[in-house]
Structure formats: structure tokens, C-alpha cells
Amino acid sequence: MIESLENKKKRAEELEKFLSDHEVLKNRALCQKYAKELASLSPILKKYKEYSSAESEIKNLEVLLKEKHDREFIDLARSEIDELKAKQKSLKHEMEEMLVEEDPDSRRNIIMEIRAGTGGLEASLFAAELFRMYSKYAQRNNWKVDLMNTSGSEAGGIKEVIFSVEGNAVYKRLKFESGVHRVQRVPTTEASGRIHTSAVTVAVLPEAEEVDLQIDQKDLRVDVYRSSGHGGQSVNTTDSAVRITHIPTDIVVTCQDERSQLKNKTKAMKVLRSRLFDKRRQEQMQKISQDRKIQVGSGDRSEKIRTYNFPDRRVTDHRINLSLHKLEGILEGELDEIISELILAEKKAKLEKTQGE
């Protein structure tokens, strides 16, 4: 914990230097970003300063105890040391709680990507249901959903949908949704009544701002073409659809839901920036040794995280072994119970890890 706090102290000193730099002050967005980060560090560093001050006082009193032989002074000094140690214990608990709660990306908006996996038509139908579920959940929280790109399938299914969600603490609430969502049910096309298992992959990316990541335009290839709807029919008479390829990483982003080429390009850049930002975050996480990783599940998008069992009306989150017989309500966007349990599990794991260090 002390190592983490010392790193935060160094970061705060670094930020203070940045905010006194004339070049930084000229860049309003960067200045606001640094000021916001510094403000977020202030509460825990204030506690750490009190903790360190108490530590110094204890050491000074312990030195004096070895030098003094006056009984009254010794009793007074020992009493003061006990009080300071009690204060330290209380401050340590408060700082541990603050470290557990802390997530620099928790207040970010997100880009969410839902893709049909194994299961053909049934998977695409369930992908559409998940999109509806998250849209309903966003509505309950007064969050804004903005479609980036959709690729439909027959019978109203979705092969892929990419959308942003904007609002208060969006990433904090939805970051656990990344992974494979499995559905078990009898498809409407199944005459024999056999239960099929299909899968849908969900990715949740914290939305990156321009100050988070600078993209060199020379690294981009931009192609424009005509938008197409279900079955490939043209839905626009102009080349408004945009495909952007980031050449160094070979990441490709497509956007065609807007009639304006400029709007599609803006949305595509938003998705690309967030994918690159997420890629950088994942690489940083991989550099951390495995025993220091604190998370619910592996964070791997190939990990099976949840099963929606229609015959039993049951939803099971495999990371925390939670089963709820509330399938219909959950698909209507009643996700708070699952999400709150996931947040609690992560907090508990982080706290145990912090106390063990």
C-alpha cells in the first residue's frame, strides 16, 4: 500500500510541474485533464500526509523514551504513542478503502460492441436481445445510447452492433459485461424441441478522448463507399459509409449508420481511438505480474462469463457463482443486482490484496 501511495505522491508532484508549464497551459483540454487527475489524488494524499506525520511523531517519541528516565514523561509519551498508532490504524483503513474504490476510468463513457458468435441465426437473434437489454438498462439510468454501426441478419437479428453509452459512471457499471454471453433455449426454428446453446461476444471499451491518444493521420487509410442495409441493398445514394484502417495495428473500423460521410468518419474515429486506447491498457495490464492482477474474471473476451437459460428462467454469472431466476426482468434491463454483486466482489478481492501487501 505504501509503495502505491508513494507512486501517487510522485505523480501529484509531476502533475503540479505540468500545470506550471506554459506549453501545457496553452492546451486547454490537456490542462483540464491534468487538473482533474491532480484533484482526484488530493483526498488520499491528504490522508497519507497525516499518516506519515503520525509515523514521524511516533519515531521521535520512541527516541525520547530511550533518553528520558522520568516516569511521568515516559507514561505520557507511551500514551501519546498509543493514540498516534490508533490514528494510523484508522487512516490506513480509510486509505485502503479509497484505493479499492479508485479506478481512473470509472467515470468514462464507453463504446460497446456486440457480435454474434457460435449458433448462426439463433446467436444473431440473441445479440439483438442483448442490445435491447443494454439499451433498456441505459434508459433506466438516464444514459444516452448512440449507434455507431450495425450489421443485421434475417428475422431481425444482429451480426454486429457498435454503440456508445454516455452518462454518469457508465464504465464503472458496465465494464464487467466484456466476455462471452451464452444462451440456452429452444430456437423457434427447432421442430423437435431440442435446447440449443449459442454464444454472443460483448466488448466494453472505455471511451478515449483526443488528449488520451494522439493518432497520426499518416497511419490511417480512409475508404468511403455506399451504405447497405439487410441483404446488401443500398440504403443511400451517396458514398457516405466510412471504413478507417489503422495501418500499424491493422485495426479496421466501419461506420455507415449516418447519412453524412463526415458524421460517419467522426464516429469511426471515436471507435478507433477507443480500441487503440483499450489495446494500450491491455498491454499495460499484461506487464503486471499475474499475482498482482485484481479483477473479477480474466478480462479476456473469450471467457464465458454468463449463461441465460430460458427453460429454467435462470441467469448465471460464472465469475461470482450467482444465479438469479429473473430472466425476463434482466432482459428488460434489470441488471443492477448482478452488477452490484460484481462490483462488491471486485472490491472484496482488491481489499484482501491490499491488506495482504
- Domains of the chain plus CATH, in order, are 2-101 (1.20.58), 110-199+294-351 (3.30.70.1660), 217-285 (3.30.160.20)
Q: Identify the pLDDT of residue 5.
A: 86
pLDDT at 228: 64
- Least Cα distance to 277 among 111, 113, 102, 163 occurs for 111
The pLDDT of residue 26 is: 83
Q: How far apart are CA 182 and CA 197, in angstroms?
A: 7
**Contact between residue 299 and residue 346 where contact means Cβ atoms under 8 Å apart:** no
- Measured between its terminal Cα atoms, the distance across the chain in Å is 7
Radius of gyration of the chain (CA): 26
Residue 66 burial (C-beta neighbours within 10 Å; 0-12, 13-18, 19+): exposed
Asked whether 305 and 179 are in contact (CB, 8 A), the reply is yes
The type of residue at 99 is L
Residues in the chain with pLDDT values less than 70: 100-104, 189, 191, 210-212, 227-238, 284-302, 353-357
- Count of CB atoms situated within 10 Å of the CB of 317: 21
**How high is the pLDDT of residue 293?**
44
What sign results for the dihedral spanned by CA atoms 12, 14, 18, 21? Answer: positive
Per-residue pLDDT at 132: 97
Answer yes or no: are the C-beta atoms of 310 and 295 closer than 8 Å: no
In this predicted structure, what is the pLDDT of residue 354? 60
